[in-house]
Structure 1
Amino acid sequence: MGRFMRLRSLNTTLVAGISALLLVACEREAATDSLPAPPRPVRTITVEKREQLTPLTFSGRIEAEDEASLAFRISGRLQSSDIRLGDRVEAGQLLAQLEAQDQLSAQRQAQAALAAAQGQLTKARNHFERQQTLLAQGWTTRANFEAATQAQQTAQSNVEMAEAQLSSAHDQVSFTELRADAPGKITEKGPVAGEVVQAGQTIARIARQDGRDAVFDVPAQFVRAAPANLQVSVSLTDDPAVTAKGRIRQIAAQADPITRTFEVKVGLTDPPAAMRLGATVNGRVETGSGPVIDIPATALTRINRQPAVWIVDPSTNVVSARNVDILRFDQADVIISQGLDAGEIIVTAGVQALHSGQKVRVLGAAP
């Protein structure tokens, strides 16, 4: 009996000790839970508005700044055409020639008509001089003198008309030859010898100056938004390292009826030799779209199934969520259209571990 009582007293003591230990542990845990959580470290930026430049790229080609199509003024059969693409020509150089038998025949007829008219004029002038002498001596009548005067005037008019016809015949002969009107380079070749060509049909196209243009077909939106004298960066499509600068010098007044685009010519400044006529190039411009707010992509989170950011109250360092509207984005930056104002502070790192009302500590700031 005494042994049982001693064991019971020992158990009671052990239970009391364990209960005391548990009570102390619970009190410590409660005290720990009552302590405020330490501020979560985050990184932030201050929202700013800045001018956004939008890059635009177009594909085009290199053309001569001053290029002209050469053609015969008359129709005929092409006798010779001694031009090749890329040939350098000088002013007055013969490029092509038509068969000129008909024109040469007409020229000979005009020469003969002129000789006949000149002979009639000589005869009429001699008769006039005789009548003038006889009238002064009283051996002829005034009517005969006036008839001689009239005949001389008619003969003179016939000579002038024959001279004009001969000049026209000379022109027709010269029109059978096509010559370069200025030094340049052949960029296009038309019909070959033996073909019948029409007046005005392109025989050759010449780049008449060394200046070069980059020509692009652009949409109407670009034409409306492009400022005057816009600078364009041009590079070869097959070798982007070959570049040149230029400015828009001409915009087509009317859109292409098929593509509905406008042709824009960019005058290049000191283009490299590698930018040959006909080469394919890319043109790049940057146009301003007005002040915008852009933030790092890491600042973006999702709340209520909508894009959002965490706003930091600078007076308390407490964060709150705010939904925003996105204009556009890429891997690094997000352009915000609505929801943020300049001067506000947003969290850019640590956004996934935050909740509304949480206090934060900006990394790099004093604790």
Structure 2
Amino acid sequence: MSGQAAEKSGGALSRYLVVSTLVVTGVVLSACGREDAKAPPAPVRPVRTVTVASQPPAPALGFTGHIEAQDRVDLSFRIGGRMAERHAGVGATVREGDVVARLDPENELNDLRAARAALASAEGLRREADGQYQRQSQLLARNVATRADFEAAEQARLSARSQVTAAQARVASAEDIVGFTTLRADAPGVVTRVGAEPGEVVAPGRMIIQLARRDGRDAVFEAPADVVRSLHLDDAATVMLAGQAGVTAHGRVREISPQADPVTRTFTVRVGLSDPSPAFRLGAAVTARIGGDGKAAIHIPATALTQRGSGKDLETGVWVVDPAAQTVSLRKVEVLASDPATAHIGKGLNPGDVVITAGANVLREGQQVRLGGAETR
């Protein structure tokens, strides 16, 4: 009895130790879980900021230039030859379809005559092959001709028809080449340059006349690099005719040259005119005022911009500081233009906003910051 009691007492003690171990382990794991669930707070980041201030409206920029055609085209022959006549000179007004020049067409006409003669011969052979095919077909039906003779007549008929098709294609090509000896205007306009005189032998593609089409006028200006940075596509412009007060036209910047002129080191700016009067003749001197729409601009350092996402989901924003809580939030902005130093903001910021300019790459939403330096823009 004493041995059995000791054995039972030892078993109970073992079970007690196991249960106690499991309880202690559970308590420890529960405490670790609570510690892991409670993430450490984000550190307070030192940052530099700028306080947004509304800038005065940018003044309009003045330029001096001249009028050019919005669309110019060089008319040339597709084939070479001796130019027999030219019907339009510099300053001439032409309509769409008007003949402006001709080449001597004798060689091309000879090629056309030869092609037509070859077509006539091919059609004769086709008629002969058709007749032979019909005869062999009738003889074969009466069991007079052999199958081999009939198949030979059928093959000759197919060959003759193919020769007619090829001859017709050569005639069409020769007719096109004869047509290429006549140069026509593809649109109404004014001749601004000529490149060849009657009697000259011209190569294919050589400019015969330069035509300024009537469907648009451009005011063209040359601007230095520091001024071009202030211009943007679609900027409004008012163009005035030099020497004639009150003669104005309105337009917008439609092209800014991406490369400077190798001699003058200036950039070409083209303003498309929307309502030019007849007084704005090609080459006329003009002055223009570009920009200055009266809208206040907001400029911030380019280092304040932050981009998130990629592709179509790419968004540009800035970190804005809540002065009361000293926390940050990412705000989406519309960037009108930017350079390595400054970004021009259209929408998203208001005067008085505090924007982070240094240290933005390590921030996250709602994080507390310590303002290390501030300035006003």
Give the TM-score category using the shorter length. Answer: 0.5 to 0.7
> Is 1:131 aligned to residue 123 of structure 2?
no
* Match of residue 153, structure 1, among 130, 150, 158: 158
1:229 — aligned with what? 234
> Is 1:86 aligned to residue 91 of structure 2?
yes
Change in Cα spacing, 1:133 to 1:212, as seen in structure 2 (3 Å) is same
CA apart distance, 1:227: 3.1
Change in Cα spacing, 1:259 to 1:156, as seen in structure 2 (3 Å) is farther
User: Secondary structure at the residue paired with 1:86?
Assistant: coil
Change in Cα spacing, 1:138 to 1:100, as seen in structure 2 (3 Å) is same
> Is 1:104 aligned to residue 120 of structure 2?
no
State the TM-score, normalized to the length of structure 1: 0.61
Matches within 5 A, 1:5-24: none
- The answer on whether the counterparts of 1:51 and 1:291 sit within 8 Å (CA) in structure 2 is no
* Match of residue 181, structure 2, among 173, 176, 193: 176
1:141 — aligned with what? 146
Structure 1 CA distance for aligned equivalents of residues 149 and 54 of structure 2: 104
CA deviation profile, 1:110-130 (whole Å, cap 9, x unmatched): 111111111111111111111
**Equivalent residue letter for 1:147:** A
Matches within 5 A, 1:1-367: 51-286=56-291
- How many residues align? The count is 245
CA apart distance, 1:289: 9.4
1:342 — aligned with what? none
Structure 1 CA distance for aligned equivalents of residues 128 and 264 of structure 2: 71
Structure 1 CA distance for aligned equivalents of residues 171 and 251 of structure 2: 51
- The answer on whether the counterparts of 2:54 and 2:296 sit within 8 Å (CA) in structure 1 is no
- The answer on whether the counterparts of 1:216 and 1:264 sit within 8 Å (CA) in structure 2 is yes
Please provide the CA RMSD for this pair: 2.5
**Equivalent residue letter for 1:128:** Y
Structure 2 CA distance for aligned equivalents of residues 181 and 146 of structure 1: 53
**Equivalent residue letter for 2:90:** L
Structure 1: 5+ residue stretches without partners: 1-47, 293-367
Structure 2 CA distance for aligned equivalents of residues 206 and 197 of structure 1: 18
2:340 — aligned with what? none
Aligned-residue sequence identity (percent) comes to 45
2:330 — aligned with what? none
| Greater CA drift, 209-218 or 89-98 | 209-218
**Equivalent residue letter for 1:61:** H
CA apart distance, 1:52: 4.7
User: Secondary structure at the residue paired with 1:192?
Assistant: coil
CA apart distance, 1:103: 0.4
- The answer on whether the counterparts of 2:232 and 2:253 sit within 8 Å (CA) in structure 1 is no
User: Secondary structure at the residue paired with 1:51?
Assistant: coil
Structure 2 CA distance for aligned equivalents of residues 272 and 56 of structure 1: 23
CA apart distance, 1:270: 1.5
- The answer on whether the counterparts of 2:98 and 2:184 sit within 8 Å (CA) in structure 1 is yes
Structure 2: 5+ residue stretches without partners: 1-52, 300-377
Change in Cα spacing, 1:243 to 1:151, as seen in structure 2 (3 Å) is same
Change in Cα spacing, 1:218 to 1:141, as seen in structure 2 (3 Å) is farther
State the TM-score, normalized to the length of structure 2: 0.60
CA deviation profile, 1:303-336 (whole Å, cap 9, x unmatched): xxxxxxxxxxxxxxxxxxxxxxxxxxxxxxxxxx
- The answer on whether the counterparts of 2:233 and 2:256 sit within 8 Å (CA) in structure 1 is no
CA deviation profile, 1:312-367 (whole Å, cap 9, x unmatched): xxxxxxxxxxxxxxxxxxxxxxxxxxxxxxxxxxxxxxxxxxxxxxxxxxxxxxxx
Question: Quick check: which has more Rg, 1 or 2?
Answer: 1
**Equivalent residue letter for 2:106:** Q
User: Secondary structure at the residue paired with 2:56?
Assistant: strand
**Equivalent residue letter for 1:117:** A
Structure 1 CA distance for aligned equivalents of residues 214 and 258 of structure 2: 24
CA apart distance, 1:219: 3.3
**Equivalent residue letter for 1:60:** G
- The answer on whether the counterparts of 1:54 and 1:289 sit within 8 Å (CA) in structure 2 is no
Change in Cα spacing, 1:70 to 1:134, as seen in structure 2 (3 Å) is same
CA deviation profile, 1:75-108 (whole Å, cap 9, x unmatched): 1111000102232222211110011111011111
